Amino acid sequence: MAIPKTPNPADLKAIFGLEPEAAITYLKSKGYAITWNWQEMRDEAHDQAFTVAKAMRLDLLSDIRGAVETALQEGQTLKQFIKELQPTLESQGWWGQQVIVDSQGVGELVQLGSPRRLKTIYQTNLQSAYMAGRKASMEETSDTHPYWRYVAILDGQTRPSHRALSGTVYRHDDPVWSAIYPPNGFNCRCRVTALSASAVKRRGLTIVSSQGQVSSETVETGVDKRTGEVRTAQITLVRTTDAAGKPITFRTDPGFNHAPGTGLADMLKRKQAAA
C-alpha cells in the first residue's frame, strides 16, 4: 500500500482553499505549555497553548513554534522544515535518545528530536492550523452557507469510519462539529465543505441531525513508564451507516477529540475591527 506523502503548506492551501493568514493567527495566539506526555493536555487546551512533548524549556518551544510559523508563512516543505530546524535543536542538545529528568526528578530514556518527530510536529501543527482557519472562514459565511458536509478521501488508506461519514451533511451549528471537525487523527485527510440551501437542494442531499447518535468513550492510550499509571483519553463516537446501509461507528482518535480553532472567528473579527 502506498504511503500518502506529507502535505506541505501549498498542498494544504490547495486542498482547503485557504490563505495562511488565519492559520498563522491561530498559531500566534497560543501561549506555551510544558508537557512530558501528549496525554497531559486536554484536547481543547491545544487551542490556547503550543506544546511539544518532552520539550521542557520555553526557549526550545519558542524555537520549534517559530519554525512552524515560518513553514506556514514561507510555504516550506517538510524537507526544508527539517533542514532549518534540526541544527537548532542539535545545538540545544534536544536530539536523539537521551536520559531526561522530568519535573518530579525521575529520569527516563526518551526519544527527543528526530526526523520522524519533526515530521509529526510539522504535519500535525500545520494541518490543525489550516483547519482552524478554514473553520473560522466557514463560520463567517454560515448565514449564506449554513450546511456543512463531511468529506473523506475515498481511497484504500482512509479509515473505514471516516469513509462512512463522508458525504454526511449537518447544520453548521450541530453540536457534533465541536468534536468531529477534522483532523480526527494522525494523517487524517478529511475536510469539510460549506453549502448553501440551494446547493443542498440541487444535489439532492439530506440534512441530518446528530441528536441521539453521538456518545463519548474513555479509552486507554498507554502506560506511564515512570509511574505505572494507565493513561486515558476521551473520544467521540457517531453512529452512522456505510454505503451498503450497514451500521458503523465513526470514532475520533485519542488526542483529536476537539475541533481546532474554537473561538478563532471571533478573534479574527476583533483583529479586523482594530485594524
274 pLDDT above the threshold of 70? no
Chain centroid to CA 259: how far? 8
pLDDT-wise least confident of 95-99, 172-176, 195-199: 95-99
- Which carries the bigger pLDDT value, residue 274 or residue 119? 119
Contacts (Cβ under 8 Å, ≥6 apart) of 178: 258, 259, 262
The confidence score (pLDDT) of residue 13 equals 55
Decide if pLDDT at 195 tops 90.
yes
Flag whether pLDDT at 96 surpasses 60: yes
- Alpha-carbon span 47 to 30, nearest angstrom: 7
Q: Which three cell numbers stand for residue 211?
A: 441528536
How high is the pLDDT of residue 16?
47
Percent of the chain with pLDDT over 70: 80
Tell me the average pLDDT across 253-272.
69
The grid coordinates listed for 226 are 515512570
Phi-psi sector, 245: left (phi>0), alpha (psi -120 to 50), beta: left
What's the angle, vertex CA 47, arms to CA 162 and CA 179, rounded to 5?
Answer: 30
> How high does pLDDT run on average in the chain?
82
pTM for this structure? Answer: 0.78
Interval 107-163: pLDDT, tens:
778 888 899 999 988 988 888 888 888 898 899 899 999 999 999 998 888 898 899
How sure is the predictor about 269, in pLDDT bands with cuts at 50, 70 and 90?
A: low
CA-to-CA separations, 41 to 14, 50, 112, in angstroms, rounded: 31, 10, 19
More confident call, 268 vs 61: 61
Segment 49-92, tens digit of pLDDT: 677 877 778 888 899 999 998 988 888 889 999 999 999 999 99
Show me where the domains of the chain are located: 9-134, 144-274
Instruction: Between 107 and 251, name the one with better pLDDT.
Output: 251
- C-alpha distance from residue 137 to each of 17, 103, 233, 264, 265 (Å): 10, 40, 29, 9, 7
Q: Which three cell numbers stand for residue 273?
A: 475591527
Cα–Cα distance, 218 to 216 (Å, whole number): 7
